[in-house]
Amino acid sequence: MLIRYLIEFNAYVLRVIRIGWGFLWNLPTLLRVPRPIVTVFGSAALSEDEHYIHQAYAFGRTCAEHGISVITGGGPGIMLAANRGAASIEQEQGKKITRSLGIGVRGVDEGFVQDIPSIRFRYFFMRKWYLTQFSSAIVIFPGGIGTFDELFDVLNLRKHHMLPDFPIVLIGVEFWAPLLTWLKTRGVERGMIRADVLRVFNVTDDIQEAFELVHACCQRAPVD
């Protein structure tokens, strides 16, 4: 029994060391991204001709034009479009890309971002921590399970005051309407979700409106 305990204990100690080392190893890369920073979440599955892909690219580019960096989950689809939009400004100027960073998970996002600076973590929770703790705003495009996981993680952190009161902008009125209705009728009206949860969202189809919400918040954030 003691030998088994020691083996398991050592295995978990090594895992904790790997987790800590992963956080520290990637930290300098993220700290070199100029602030303010906006995080963009969204589907990895959309094709390049999808309307939301073009919107994500335009949003990322507009952010970079106004000195706001963009970080994403480092995958294809919405994430890659937002990263490429942000990177396009520095690329056109012949500069090194600093305002665009993908933060992926090993074995999941490998090979998806070839022309954008990126880092990789071993576990999803490590990526989510990086994507939420350094940003001045969060913009969420339509997506699947991963996007919803990130959205509700952000809501839970906000609920417990572990994130500042920055904008959470949802792109796609029609896409998000059923979720907001469910939160209201199944959660708020039954007393399981606080009513102020619904007030943290800004829902729009207008990328310029989304940018203005983000820009207003970023003007109050630290700038590098």
Which residue stretches of the chain have pLDDT < 70?
A: 109-114, 221-224
- What is the C-alpha separation between 138 and 151, in angstroms, rounded? 9
> Domain range for residue 175?
2-218
Q: Tokens 């399970």 correspond to what residue?
A: 145
Domain count within the chain? 1
**CA–CA gap between residue 158 and residue 163 (Å, rounded):** 5
pLDDT of residue 22: 92
Q: Is residue 42 part of a domain?
A: yes
What pLDDT score was predicted for residue 223?
66
Report field, pTM of the whole predicted structure over 0.75: yes
Q: What is the pLDDT of residue 111?
A: 59
Give the model's pLDDT for residue 217: 87
Could you tell me which residues come within 8 angstroms of residue 222 by beta carbon, excluding any fewer than 6 positions away? 35, 36
DSSP state of 172: -
Looking at residue 189, its pLDDT comes to 93
Cα–Cα distance for residue pair 174/143, rounded to 1 Å: 13
- Residue 104 placed within a domain: yes
Residue 223 included in any domain: no
Q: What pLDDT sits at residue 17? A: 94
Number of alpha carbons in the 13 Å side-chain half-sphere of residue 204: 16
Under 8 Å CB-to-CB from 132, ≥6 apart: which residues? Answer: 39, 138, 153, 154, 157, 163
Q: Encoding tokens for residue 133?
A: 């703790």
What CATH number does the domain containing 174 carry?
3.40.50.450
pLDDT, residue 221, reads 65
Domain membership flag for residue 224: no
